């Protein structure tokens, strides 16, 4: 069965551009993003990896470790990194897994045989410090992902892990949030003495709590 939200992200060992890792040990207590790309030396993937490398300060700020994967070998990853630096301005500054035997791709359901029976689709998983899968997405090979959206989801997840709030449509860090229905008005009054705006009893909007 496909991995689902709330499942433990399967552990694995892998050879990466930054050495051999045991995934859970490598994650430690950090949040993680594990993402696959279909193939080295391809145009969309080149832009995705360059952009993700440029986002490193944003991931670092949020305590998130990023790791890429494709079914290509390490020497291809290393050669291709030079092209990424040349064309995108930044070489990958995170490990890239060489999953030539497709073991990890199969474990994570990254190969969708009706799309391609040899290459991974564009999967991404956000993994919490508890090693549970908090988000999973699958995009087709022809569509580059929006990594700003991945950062936005991390902001929402980290906020909701700390406070009993949810984030509304198109929310961005700093904007108003929603008090979750499981919090009674009585408890909400203690948490938010400044009050909130109730558009409906179940739709209570409040300023984003300070972290
Ligand atoms: C790309 O990254 O451009 C790509 C990879 C595999 C299939 C199609 C496009």
Are 173 and 211 in contact by the 8 Å Cβ rule? The answer is no
Cα separation, 206 vs 179, whole angstroms: 7
Catalytic residue among 9, 27, 44, 45: 45
Report pLDDT for 67: 98
Helix (H) or strand (E) holding 48: helix 43-54
CA of 148 to the centre of ligand 1 (A): 20
How far is C-alpha 73 from the chain's CA centre?
A: 23
Question: Which tokens belong to 92?
Answer: 């990958």
Is any atom of ligand 1 closer than 6 Å to the C-beta of 54?
A: no
Report pLDDT for 210: 84
Is any atom of ligand 1 closer than 6 Å to the C-beta of 144?
A: no
Cα 166–Cα 197–Cα 206 angle in degrees, nearest 5: 40
CA of 188 to the centre of ligand 1 (A): 49
Q: Using the atom order of ligand 1, give the atom closest to the CA of residue 45.
A: 2
pTM higher than 0.85, yes or no?
yes
Cα separation, 186 vs 190, whole angstroms: 7
- 45 tagged catalytic: yes
The region that residue 102 occupies, defined by phi over 0 for left and psi between -120 and 50 for alpha, beta otherwise, is: left
Backbone angles phi, psi at 124, to 5 degrees: -145, 140
Report pLDDT for 74: 98
Look at the chain and count its residues. 211
Nearest-CA residue for ligand 1 atom 7 is 141
The contacts of residue 135 (CB under 8 Å, 6+ apart) are: 5, 124, 125, 126, 150, 153, 157
Is any atom of ligand 1 closer than 6 Å to the C-beta of 142?
A: yes
Is any atom of ligand 1 closer than 6 Å to the C-beta of 39?
A: yes
In the numeric block, the tokens 């990023």 are attached to 66
Question: Which tokens belong to 129?
Answer: 């410090």
- The pLDDT tens digits along the chain (211 residues) read 899 999 999 999 999 999 999 999 999 999 999 999 999 999 999 999 999 999 999 999 999 999 999 999 999 999 999 999 999 999 999 999 999 999 999 999 999 999 999 999 999 999 999 999 999 999 999 999 999 999 999 999 999 999 999 999 999 999 999 999 999 999 999 999 999 999 999 999 999 998 6
Is any atom of ligand 1 closer than 6 Å to the C-beta of 42?
A: yes
């Amino acid at each position: 069965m496909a991995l689902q939200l709330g499942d433990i992200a399967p552990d694995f060992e892998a050879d990466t551009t930054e050495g051999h890792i045991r995934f859970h040990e490598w994650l430690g207590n950090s949040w993680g993003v594990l993402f696959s790309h279909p193939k080295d030396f391809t145009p969309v993937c080149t832009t995705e990896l360059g952009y993700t490398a440029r986002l490193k300060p944003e991931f670092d700020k949020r305590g998130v470790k990023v790791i890429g994967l494709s079914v290509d070998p390490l020497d291809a990853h290393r050669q291709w990194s030079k092209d990424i630096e040349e064309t995108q301005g930044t070489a990958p500054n995170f490990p890239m897994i060489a999953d030539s035997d497709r073991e990890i791709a199969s474990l994570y359901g990254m190969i969708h045989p009706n799309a391609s029976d040899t290459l991974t689709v564009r999967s991404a998983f956000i993994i919490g410090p508890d090693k549970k899968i908090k988000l999973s997405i699958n995009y087709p090979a022809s569509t580059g992902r929006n990594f700003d959206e991945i950062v936005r989801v991390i902001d929402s997840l980290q906020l909701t892990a700390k406070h009993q709030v949810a984030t509304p449509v198109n929310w961005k860090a700093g904007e108003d949030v929603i008090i979750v229905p499981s919090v009674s008005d009585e408890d909400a009054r203690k948490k938010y003495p400044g009050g909130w705006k109730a558009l409906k009893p179940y739709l209570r909007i409040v300023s984003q709590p300070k972290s």
